[in-house]
């Protein structure tokens, strides 16, 4: 029997659905190569996709090698290319985002509902170390999620309980080759530095297995905390006109509950995928609790409300299109823009809504040139209706 095959195949069967085609995100590296072959050994029906990131001259040739390997296995395979120019900011983060978007697009086009990723226990441990380096909170130290939904696709990581060396030992025993990415040895990247630090910590007993175990403990604590946070938000936070009203009683809850409610509000209002740093979250939380004024991540705290910041709202779109990443306005033709001060000046009865001026300023208006046709959330414009594209995402709150 090949090295550890029963255990590894068991992880695949427990972690991936039977009876449907599963997508395999296949880079050609050891982890994803093992994932593909183990899924086949588990009897799953699979298709594979490779993202050619175009970050190294060899990437196109590597993608062709992966395609040939899939053809030999009888596995349908596609290559999606990341067409990019000069990349500003965090290269690895930009590459990750692009990769996930391309994979999700491929899965949607193929009618595939579940995509498997080859992350291992070692990736989990490195993620915890990187979280420690940036002084992350509980969520940041809980490691990688085993499963989540993104762009209509469920992504799963069935091999988080397997070690990187364990997978490579199995591949060697089976005579299966893989591609080594030189990026994994480049100290420019935080994950490479974390990998080397983990090796240095081994004499202290701080191993990938131990750190992954710690991440599992913290993930369970995070799950319990989320229940408490959701209950507090349901009692103390109300959504109105796309803004959040924080009840003063929220600030009697434990500090971490307060913090996570504030983060959830910021993440719902802002297009950012990442929570602000702890010090910035604390600053805007203090402003909310004191009824003060502060801005962060395209959001504004004022008088106990959290809303969009005026200068951060989106530009004009046609009626029916998504405005500011949050609103859809349906009705007769027109152009959806922020209501703003000029829009409020054209309304006589906006105070009857009972909403603060600052909240209404950043709601959608329907315009024809400089003439305001409708302001659905300010009670103006029969025939037009504005709806949020998604509710307060963590707690499902709505007006």
C-alpha 353: how far from chain center: 35
Q: What are the strands of the beta sheet with 237-240, ordered from one edge?
A: 237-240, 243-246, 305-308, 299-302, 293-296
Q: Which of 308, 328, 346 is the last residue of a domain?
A: 308
332 and 301 co-located in one domain:
no
Within 10 Å of residue 216's Cβ, how many Cβ atoms?
16
State pLDDT tens for residues 128-145: 999 888 888 888 889 999
Helix residue ranges per DSSP H, the chain: 5-15, 30-41, 59-73, 91-110, 121-133, 164-174, 190-201, 208-236, 255-269, 278-290, 340-345, 357-361
42 and 82 co-located in one domain:
yes
Check: CB of residue 106 under 8 Å from CB of residue 23.
Answer: yes
12 and 91 co-located in one domain:
yes
**Domain assignment of residue 83, yes or no:** yes
pLDDT above 70 for 27? yes
Domain of 17 in residue numbering reads as 5-120+137-186
256 and 341 co-located in one domain:
no
SS (HEC) of 289-319 = HHCCEEEECCEEEECCEEEECHHHCCCCEEC
State pLDDT tens for residues 217-226: 999 999 999 8
**Domain assignment of residue 181, yes or no:** yes
Q: What is the pLDDT of residue 397?
A: 43
pLDDT above 50 for 341? yes
State pLDDT tens for residues 53-97: 888 888 899 999 999 999 999 999 999 999 887 776 677 788 888
State pLDDT tens for residues 386-399: 999 887 855 544 33
284 and 383 co-located in one domain:
no
Q: What is the pLDDT of residue 214?
A: 93
For 398, what's the count of Cα atoms within 13 Å in the CB-facing half-sphere?
A: 6
141 and 261 co-located in one domain:
no
Check: CB of residue 53 under 8 Å from CB of residue 99.
Answer: yes
The whole-angstrom separation of Cα 257 and Cα 150 is: 26
Q: Which of 113-117, 264-268, 276-280, 366-370 has the lowest mean pLDDT?
A: 276-280
**Domain assignment of residue 220, yes or no:** no
Check: CB of residue 228 under 8 Å from CB of residue 257.
Answer: yes
Q: Model-level pTM?
A: 0.79
**How many structural domains is the chain composed of?**
3
The whole-angstrom separation of Cα 264 and Cα 394 is: 7
The whole-angstrom separation of Cα 9 and Cα 6 is: 5
Q: Which of 118-122, 191-195, 257-261, 333-337 has the lowest mean pLDDT?
A: 191-195
Check: CB of residue 169 under 8 Å from CB of residue 8.
Answer: no
**Domain assignment of residue 197, yes or no:** no
334 and 300 co-located in one domain:
no
87 and 25 co-located in one domain:
yes
The whole-angstrom separation of Cα 108 and Cα 160 is: 25
Q: Which of 148, 170, 186 is the last residue of a domain?
A: 186
335 and 301 co-located in one domain:
no
303 and 319 co-located in one domain:
no
**Domain assignment of residue 394, yes or no:** no
73 and 93 co-located in one domain:
yes
Q: Which of 163, 186, 209 is the last residue of a domain?
A: 186
Mean pLDDT of the chain: 91
List the CATH number of the domain containing 170: 3.40.50.620
Contacts of 9 (CB under 8 A, 6+ apart): 38, 41, 42
Contacts of 381 (CB under 8 A, 6+ apart): 331, 366, 373, 374, 375
**Domain assignment of residue 396, yes or no:** no
Helix residue ranges per DSSP H, 160-207: 164-174, 190-201
φ and ψ of 105, to 5 deg: -65, -40
Check: CB of residue 235 under 8 Å from CB of residue 203.
Answer: no
Give the closest residue to 183 by CA, choosing from 37, 32, 54: 54
Helix axes 255-269, 208-236, angle to 10 degrees: 80
The whole-angstrom separation of Cα 256 and Cα 281 is: 11
Instruction: Give CA torsion, residues 95, 100, 103, 104, to 10 deg.
Output: -150
170 and 245 co-located in one domain:
no
**Domain assignment of residue 9, yes or no:** yes
Contacts of 221 (CB under 8 A, 6+ apart): 138, 142
**Domain assignment of residue 66, yes or no:** yes
């Amino acid at each position: 029997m090949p090295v550890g095959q029963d255990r590894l195949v068991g992880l695949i069967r427990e972690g991936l659905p039977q009876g449907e085609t599963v997508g395999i995100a296949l880079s050609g590296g050891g982890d994803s190569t093992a994932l593909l072959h183990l899924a086949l050994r588990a009897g799953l029906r699979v298709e594979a996709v490779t993202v050619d990131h175009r970050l190294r001259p060899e990437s196109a040739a590597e993608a062709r090698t992966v395609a040939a390997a899939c053809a030999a296995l009888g596995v349908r395979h596609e290559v999606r290319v990341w067409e990019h120019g000069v990349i500003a900011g965090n290269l690895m983060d930009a590459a990750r985002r692009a990769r996930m978007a391309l994979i999700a697009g491929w899965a949607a086009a193929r009618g595939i509902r579940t995509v498997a990723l080859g992350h291992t226990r070692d990736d989990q441990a490195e993620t915890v170390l990187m979280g420690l380096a940036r002084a992350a909170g509980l969520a940041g130290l809980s490691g990688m999620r085993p499963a989540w939904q993104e762009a209509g696709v469920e992504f799963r990581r069935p091999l988080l309980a397997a070690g990187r060396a364990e997978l490579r030992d199995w591949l060697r025993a089976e005579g299966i080759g893989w591609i080594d990415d030189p990026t994994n040895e480049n100290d420019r990247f935080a994950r490479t530095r974390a990998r080397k630090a983990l090796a240095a910590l081994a004499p202290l007993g701080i191993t990938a297995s131990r750190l992954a175990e710690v991440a599992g403990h913290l993930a369970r604590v995070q799950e319990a905390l989320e229940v408490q946070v959701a209950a507090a938000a349901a009692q103390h936070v109300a959504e109105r006109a796309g803004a959040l009203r924080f009840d003063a009683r929220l600030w009697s809850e434990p500090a971490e509950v307060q913090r996570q409610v504030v983060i959830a509000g910021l993440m719902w209002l802002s297009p950012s995928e990442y929570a602000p740093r702890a010090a910035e979250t604390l600053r805007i939380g203090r402003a909310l609790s004191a009824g003060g004024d502060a801005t962060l991540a395209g959001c504004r705290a004022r008088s106990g409300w959290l809303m969009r910041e005026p200068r951060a709202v989106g530009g004009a779109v046609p009626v029916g299109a998504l405005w500011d990443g949050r609103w859809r306005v349906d009705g007769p033709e027109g152009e959806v823009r922020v209501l703003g001060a000029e829009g409020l000046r054209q309304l006589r009865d906006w105070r009857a809504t009972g909403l603060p001026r600052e909240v209404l300023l950043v709601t959608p208006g329907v315009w024809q040139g400089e003439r305001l046709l409708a302001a659905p959330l300010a009670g103006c414009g029969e025939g037009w209706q504005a709806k949020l594209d998604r509710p307060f995402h963590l707690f499902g709150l709505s007006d």
